[in-house]
């Protein structure tokens, strides 16, 4: 049995590479916004205590209306995000109430499975932190000023996904330090690794758990839902 947990869903940003009139998290697949598809993946997990959705101020009322329309009742708060990802997550942390296990999952990864979510929670409870990922399948080069400076060992490289799951104490302490020092990170594991001695358990994500970046990704998402719902 997994422990009770809370979820932070960052749903900020304009998604410039998506090239649409609305942010990608609000684009629809099968007439349902991507954000709602993502939130539905957590519904039905009985240990879910609650969630905080973080969005840009201009979309706050809209997100609240979507939650009502699709009856996503486990979301306890919709809050405004910050300038960068770590500012957004830090804002959300202040609105959690259980403060035990925290799952952070991108709003634009709607194809995560419940098994992957639960496995991440189990690993975080056991080890203190976890991250879903896929092993790298191609050679990865480290580049500086437009030139390869190093080839990384492929068998040591993983492509990080969300969910990323942490014990609350580790996460909040790391984020408070990052906030004070204006540390810039691209994801939550980076903040925790930089400011704590916490090891992060890596585990295999599902292949379909892609982060929507371009319009063409919508086709892959639509095909996935068509297959799983048939």
The 10s digit of each residue's pLDDT in 159-204 is 999 999 999 999 999 999 999 999 989 899 999 999 998 999 999 9
115: in domain: yes
Q: Which of 216, 1, 217 is nearest to 109 (CA)?
A: 217
180: in domain: yes
Q: Is the pLDDT of residue 18 over 70?
A: no
85-93 vs 188-195: helix crossing angle, rounded to 10 = 80
Q: How many domains does the chain have?
A: 1
230: in domain: no
- Predicted confidence (pLDDT) per residue in 80-139, tens digit: 988 888 889 999 999 999 999 999 999 999 999 999 999 999 999 999 999 999 999 999
Q: What is the mean pLDDT of the chain?
A: 93
54: in domain: yes
Predicted confidence at residue 95, as pLDDT, reads 96
- 227 falls in which pLDDT band (50, 70, 90)? confident
- Between residues 218 and 163, the one the model is more confident about: 163
Q: Is the pLDDT of residue 15 over 80?
A: no
Q: Which domain holds residue 85?
A: 5-223
74: in domain: yes
61: in domain: yes
Of all residues in the chain, the percent with pLDDT exceeding 70 is: 96
Predicted confidence at residue 20, as pLDDT, reads 62
Q: Which of 94, 132, 107, 136 is nearest to 41 (CA)?
A: 107
Give the residue-averaged pLDDT of 7-26.
79
229: in domain: no
Q: What is the CATH number of the domain that holds 135?
A: 3.90.550.10
228: in domain: no
Give the residue-averaged pLDDT of 50-69.
96
pTM: 0.94
User: Which residues, other chains included, contact 93 with Cβ-Cβ below 8 Å and sequence gap of 6+?
Assistant: 8, 102, 171, 172, 175
């Amino acid at each position: 049995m997994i422990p009770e947990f809370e979820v932070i869903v960052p749903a900020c940003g304009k998604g410039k590479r998506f090239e649409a009139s609305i942010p990608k998290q609000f684009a629809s697949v099968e007439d349902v916004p991507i954000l709602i598809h993502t939130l539905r993946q957590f519904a039905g997990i009985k240990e879910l205590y609650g969630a905080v959705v973080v969005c840009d101020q201009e979309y706050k009322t809209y997100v609240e209306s979507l939650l009502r329309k699709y009856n996503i009742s486990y979301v306890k708060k919709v809050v405004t995000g910050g300038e960068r990802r770590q500012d957004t997550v830090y804002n959300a942390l202040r609105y959690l109430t259980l403060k035990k296990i925290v799952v952070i999952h991108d709003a634009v990864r709607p194809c995560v499975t419940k098994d992957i979510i639960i496995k991440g929670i189990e690993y975080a409870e056991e080890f203190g932190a976890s991250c879903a990922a896929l092993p790298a399948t191609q050679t990865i080069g480290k580049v500086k000023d437009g030139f390869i400076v190093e080839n990384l060992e492929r068998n040591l490289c993983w492509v990080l996904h969300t969910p990323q799951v942490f014990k609350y104490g580790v996460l909040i302490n790391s984020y408070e330090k990052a906030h004070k020092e204006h540390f810039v990170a691209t994801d939550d594991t980076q903040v925790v690794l930089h400011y704590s001695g916490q090891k992060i358990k890596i585990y295999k994500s599902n292949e379909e758990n892609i982060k929507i970046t371009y319009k063409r990704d919508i086709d892959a998402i639509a095909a996935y839902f068509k297959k799983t719902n048939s």
